[in-house]
Amino acid sequence: MDLSQLQAASKQYPKSPDFTPSYGTAGFRAAAALLPSTVFRCGALMAARSLKTDGVTGLVVTASHNPEADNGVKLVDPTGYMLCQEWEVYADRLANAVDPDDVLAELQKLQDSECIPSGHAEVMIAHDTRQSAAELVGAARCGVEAVGGAAVLCGLLTTPQLHWMVRQRHLGLPCSEESYFSSFLRAYEGLLRGHAASEAQVLIIDCANGVGGGKLQQLQPQLAQLGLELDLRNCGRGVLNEGCGADFVQKDRQLPLECDGVGSAARCASIDGDADRLVYFLPHGAGLRLFDGDKIAALAALFIQSLLEGLQGPSVQIGVIQTAYANGSSTQYLRDTLGCQVVITPTGVKHLHEEAVKFDIGIYFEANGHGTVLFSPDLLQRLRKLQANEPAARDLLALADLVNQAVGDAISGILLVEVALQRLNMTMAAWGSLYADLPSRQLKVTVEDRSIVTTTDAETRAMTPDGLQESLDQAVQRTPSGRAFVRPSGTEDVVRVYAEASTQEGADLLAKTVARVVYRTASGVGPAP
């Protein structure tokens, strides 16, 4: 790794003295004006990662479901997955380097500790629709080139598209955007063959005014020919993620903009700003009936089990990976009704993905709608041997192509849900009745230092501050079917609260009680919740 140009280049991107970036689930996120130094350094880091792994890495300039004024960077390993967790500490140290000398010193430490070889580094760079993207893409490119790497500018893409493309490069397969679309469409058409609905299905999609809207527009004609008509809303006329998008719908349980008056029978979905989250919903009175990531995981598991019924040979082990945010009823349905093995991990798809790869088929979706389905290499090899004579094997191979096995993908997820509903001959109402959600409520409490709250047991129990968990236990015990936990946010200076109970009133009261306990014990700032 050539560091000769690094110091001079890093002077163009000084870090604000008051800015302390912190690596979250997949990278960094903050107000866009603060980020040029961080993104420059991430460009250099991913060039080093490319040399270390002898593979092409990726970088996406996006802040996902955050407001328009924010931006961020998500980092992609050569496998197409998120940056390996062992390298997150390097990312944090580099992002917080004080000045160009410190930047050089951190990269020299990285080079020495990881034995980075010389060679050709290549980093694929994409971005979403934010106005701040151009400057930050320039910073990323400069970082890559400052250590002798080559930046491949891929332009406007969803985050999952870049993950998929990097993975395809890793596997030596076609990796263009055209290949991305054609691969999914071919698999979707194959799974529907002989099972198409008698009349066209209409799906209203809230596109969050983000990058996903334009990508779905590219698919509209082909999907219409296959019987799925997309009615796209919030495609760029409004403000990114404001009053719309999967995060808004899932957290606020309100209809997004441009979806008022669509009718109670309308089938609707919502994606987020960079199109890696997906939820479905039905308008219901003044609000909506939500089909979140838990519901999608349950539908996927049911569909996959139906396909496996026709497969000959040894049984296939299905694992469903959830976090503590998963509704308790969904966990019970998956475990007790479907007989799936359920694993609970800390929040963050990197943790779920890490567990999902341990199964023949690993299904993971966070409640927020971020997730996918993974097929093990051994199972895929077995299916390829059987496909000539077994339709079930062909269907499962098509499903493996339909889902984005690199990362959660809202576009791929829509196709998964639509084909599952048709193959199972299931209405939205029937999907919703697989199990009844326990009422829940999420809140967040602003605190002086979120790190004062630490957790254990997959974030279901608080270790510090002293007395916090005891107070939570007491509140839960007073609530019928009560369950609650708290965790420090990975992206904001807040502590997140989740509460669940037999009634909505009970969940709301438990959440407020827990929020007050957090405020009192974690030295909250601002008015008490």
Residue 529 has pLDDT above 60, yes or no: no
| Angle of CA points 159, 322, 180, to nearest 5° | 25
Residue boundaries of the structural domains of the chain: 6-156, 182-291, 293-432, 440-521
List, as residue ranges, the binding site. 64, 272, 274, 276, 366-368, 487-491, 496
At residue 57, the pLDDT reads 98
- Indicate the burial class of 272 (C-beta count within 10 angstroms; 0-12, 13-18, 19 or more): buried
Q: What is the mean pLDDT of residues 55-69?
A: 97
At residue 136, the pLDDT reads 98
For domain 440-521, the CATH architecture is: 2-Layer Sandwich (3.30)
List, as residue ranges, the binding site for Mg(2+). 64, 272, 274, 276
- In this structure, the number of other CB atoms found within 10 A of the CB of residue 135 comes to 16
- For the segment 242-278, what is each residue's pLDDT rounded down to a tens digit? 999 999 999 888 999 999 888 878 999 999 999 999 9
Can you read off the two tokens belonging to residue 122? Answer: 């290549």
Q: What is the CATH number of domain 6-156?
A: 3.40.120.10
Q: What burial letters (b/e) apply to 178-216, b meaning 16+ CB within 10 Å?
A: eebbebbbebbbbbbeeeeeeeebebbbbbbbbbbbbbb
Answer yes or no: are the C-beta atoms of 59 and 73 closer than 8 Å: yes
At residue 449, the pLDDT reads 86
Mean residue pLDDT of the chain comes to: 94
Closest CA to 442 of 179, 247, 152, 202: 247
Can you read off the two tokens belonging to residue 513? Answer: 């009680």
Residue 524 has pLDDT above 60, yes or no: no
Q: Which residues contact 348 (CB under 8 A, 6 or more apart)?
A: 24, 25, 323, 490
27: left (phi over 0), alpha (psi -120 to 50) or beta: left
Residue written as tokens 């004579």? Answer: 389
Strand partners, 322: 344
Q: Model pTM?
A: 0.93
- For the segment 208-231, what is each residue's pLDDT rounded down to a tens digit? 999 999 999 999 999 999 999 999
- In this structure, the number of other CB atoms found within 10 A of the CB of residue 277 comes to 33
Give the CATH H-level superfamily of domain 182-291.
Alpha-D-Glucose-1,6-Bisphosphate, subunit A, domain 3 (3.40.120.10)
Residue-wise DSSP of 19-82: ------SSEEEEEGGG-HHHHHHHHHHHHHHHHHHTS-EEEEE--TTS-TTEEEEEEE-TTSSB
Binned at pLDDT 50, 70 and 90, residue 525 comes out as: low
Least confident of 3-7, 306-310, 412-416: 3-7
Answer yes or no: are the C-beta atoms of 509 and 479 closer than 8 Å: yes
Q: What is the mean pLDDT of residues 182-201?
A: 92
Can you read off the two tokens belonging to residue 331? Answer: 């966990």
DSSP state at residue 232: E
Q: Which residues contact 286 (CB under 8 A, 6 or more apart)?
A: none
Q: How far is CA 478 from CA 460, 475, 502, in A?
A: 18, 5, 12
SS3 249: helix
Give the CATH H-level superfamily of domain 293-432.
Alpha-D-Glucose-1,6-Bisphosphate, subunit A, domain 3 (3.40.120.10)
Q: How far apart are CA 156 and CA 360, in angstroms?
A: 34
At residue 102, the pLDDT reads 96
Residue 335 has pLDDT above 50, yes or no: yes
Q: How far is CA 34 from CA 13, 42, 302, in A?
A: 10, 14, 45
Query: What proportion of the chain, given as a percentage, has pLDDT over 70?
Result: 98
Q: How far apart are CA 179 and CA 518, in angstroms?
A: 49
Written in H, E and C, the secondary structure of 300-313 is HHHHHHHHHCCCCC
Written in H, E and C, the secondary structure of 402-471 is HCCCCCCCHHHHHHHHHHHHHHCCCCHHHHHCCCCCCCEEEEEEEECCHHHCEEECCCCEEEECCCHHHH
- For the segment 116-175, what is each residue's pLDDT rounded down to a tens digit? 999 999 999 999 999 999 999 999 999 999 999 999 999 999 999 999 999 999 999 999
Catalytic residues: 64
Answer yes or no: are the C-beta atoms of 482 and 511 closer than 8 Å: no
- Indicate the burial class of 115 (C-beta count within 10 angstroms; 0-12, 13-18, 19 or more): exposed
467: left (phi over 0), alpha (psi -120 to 50) or beta: left
Question: Which residue has better confidence, 2 or 416?
Answer: 416
Written in H, E and C, the secondary structure of 490-528 is CCCCEEEEEEECCCHHHHHHHHHHHHHHHHHHCCECCCC
Q: How far apart are CA 304 and CA 302, in angstroms?
A: 6
List, as residue ranges, the binding site for substrate. 366-368, 487-491, 496
Q: What burial letters (b/e) apply to 423-451, b meaning 16+ CB within 10 Å?
A: beebebeebbebbebbbbbebbbebeebe
Binned at pLDDT 50, 70 and 90, residue 448 comes out as: confident
Can you read off the two tokens belonging to residue 335? Answer: 């475990």
At residue 165, the pLDDT reads 98
Could you check whether 6-156 and 182-291 share the same CATH topology? Answer: yes
Residue 492 has pLDDT above 80, yes or no: no
Residue 237 has pLDDT above 80, yes or no: yes
Residue 22 has pLDDT above 70, yes or no: yes
Binned at pLDDT 50, 70 and 90, residue 526 comes out as: very low
Q: What is the mean pLDDT of residues 409-415?
A: 98
Extended strands (E) in 341-418 = 341-345, 361-365, 371-375
- In total, the chain counts a number of residues equal to 529
Least confident of 242-251, 408-417, 518-527: 518-527
